Amino acid sequence: MSDVKIDEVPITGIPSDKRITQIKNDFFEEFGTMPQFIVKVPGRVNIIGEHIDYCGYPVLPLALEQDILIGGKPIDVQELHLRNTNKKYIKYSTKLLSFEDLDIKADETGKPYWYNYVLCGIKGAIEYLNNEIVGGLQLCIDGNIPPASGLSSSSALVSAACLSFLYAQKVYPSKTEIASLCAKSERYIGTQGGGMDQAIAFLAEKYSAQYITFDPLQAKPVSLPENAVFVVAHSLAEANKAATNDFNRRVIECRLAAKILAVSNGASLDQKIINLSQVQKNLNKSLDEMISLVDEFLCKNSYTKNEVCDMLNITEKELNDIYLTPNTKHLSEFKLRQRALHVYKEAMRVESFRKICEDNFSNGSCKNGTNGSSHTNGNSGSLEPISVLGTLMTESHESLKKLYECSHVNLDRLVDISKAMNVHSRLTGAGWGGCIVALCPKEIVDNYIETLVDKFYVQYCNIDKNEALAYVFATTPSHGAVIYK
């Protein structure tokens, strides 16, 4: 899997599609020529394993049918010209500089411009090429992944831009290589994300979710129950991760928790950043044992900056410089215990979920009866496997809401409406808005969607029934990035 190159399909193989026609028309209108290639990178929904990729733990996403499409054509001059089929995203052009000089600045409110995500992908690609680039690029972008909604529109955009640029430069990295490169590239936007979104964008396979492990990056297909469907429903609240410090705050709280657990258990006081999974490996402990260590060494509900400095035996300046990001330096209080507990317990839920799928649905069908779970987490004896999977998703949501504090009142309402129909669900993606993912038995899917439309979108959000149908959809696992040439 690791050395596999990205699929290239003859451009004649593109299904005739309104969006492709739109890209071609807009490309011609803007640049007076046709695109030479089109790249397609999917969004994703994460089934379980939230806010743990940047702590080094495996996650379980699948690629969506919704995607970012980019039509591209190399040009002789070292310039980049961007156009979007959606006119709310303004045109943008720039000289292509060395990666050190390619500056990515947010607007005056701190929110990134849309084209900054394209620049992230291109900056990463130029860095990968050691500034040895030939010519430039014209690009026209079209996306149908709901933005700022936890379905990875930003990573699909960064990844599609990076792939387009490398392809135009005639450079063809493997899927794992480009996935890791794009994860690194997206951090130029200012958030310290993990690598889940970029990994599934390139490593996804049709009809299965992927169990993604990091360091080294690998993806293993996971068969899902045939008699259930994963339904995504939008909360109608958008949250741009890079516009606030909510996301980075959680990342650094996890970093600090990891370092404190390490030094409290005998590690030397150095300045190396480690994640919660590395601490577990170094201490050679089980996840259960890590939870006991959190209870023992991170027993307070909140830690001040001074307390953290004392525990790590560092000055405030060192804390700021080594561990904090520009948008978290001013924080004075850190919730280390809650974040670490969420991460270790969520990592256990991912393992339970994967094992249940492996033991029960390995041929894509549900072998009724056993749940196959050997973990305490979500192990409910004689329950049907699907209901054990559902319980794990419900527990994940509770933990994200209470320990990680990244839910939203609309997300909680969607989860509650689902619960009343015996459908388990959870927030998916970064949270603070965005979407839920629900595990819904096939035979009630239509009824479930109708109930959400009625109780959430029409009655609670006061939107029209037809409009509401655009916000809730059943998913089918799709494939990873493709280049049409």
Is 351 a residue that touches ligand NG1 (CB under 6 A)? no
Which token pair is 431?
A: 């949270």
CB-CB contact of 290 with 379 (8 Å): no
The binding track of 113-152 with respect to ligand ADP, each residue x by CB under 6 A or -, is -x--x-----------------------x-x-x-xxxxxx
Annotated active-site residue in 197, 246, 288, 310: 197
Cβ–Cβ < 8 Å for 169, 124: no
Of the candidates 41, 65, 64, the one whose C-alpha atom is nearest the C-alpha of residue 141 is 41
Distance CA 290, CA 269 (A): 20
Least separation, in Å, of the C-beta of 186 and ligand NG1?
5
Minimum distance between the CB of residue 431 and ligand NG1, rounded to whole angstroms? 7
**φ, ψ (nearest 5 deg) of residue 292:** -65, -40
DSSP 398-424: HHHHHTS----HHHHHHHHHHHHTT-E
Draw the binding track, 186-215, toward ligand NG1 (x: CB under 6 A; -: no contact): x----x-xx-xx------------------
Whether 53 is catalytic is: no
Place of tokens 């030397």: 268
Name the closest residue to ligand ADP (Cβ).
Answer: 143
Q: Which of 66, 208, 240, 407 binds ligand ADP (CB under 6 A)?
A: 240
Q: How far apart are CA 473 and CA 418, in angstroms?
A: 14
Among the listed residues 66, 154, 235, 396, the single contact to ligand ADP using CB under 6 A: 154
Name the one residue in this structure whose structure tokens are 């390995």: 362
The binder of 53, among ligand NG1, ligand ADP, none, by C-beta within 5 to 8 A per type, is: ligand NG1
By the rule CB under 6 A, 27 interacts with ligand NG1: no
Cα→Cα distances 262→205, 267, 280, 282, 335, Å: 37, 5, 9, 8, 17
* CB closer to ligand ADP, 89 vs 172: 89
Sign of the alpha-carbon dihedral angle for 247, 250, 255, 258? negative
* Residue 275 touching ligand ADP (CB under 6 A): no
Number of residues that bind ligand ADP (CB under 6 A): 22
Rg, the chain, Cα only: 22
Q: Which residues are identified as catalytic?
A: 197
For ligand ADP, the binding residues (CB under 6 A) are 84, 89, 112, 114, 117, 141, 143, 145, 147-155, 157, 240-241, 429-430
For ligand NG1, the binding residues (CB under 6 A) are 46, 50-51, 53-54, 150, 152, 154-155, 186, 191, 193-194, 196-197, 241, 429-430
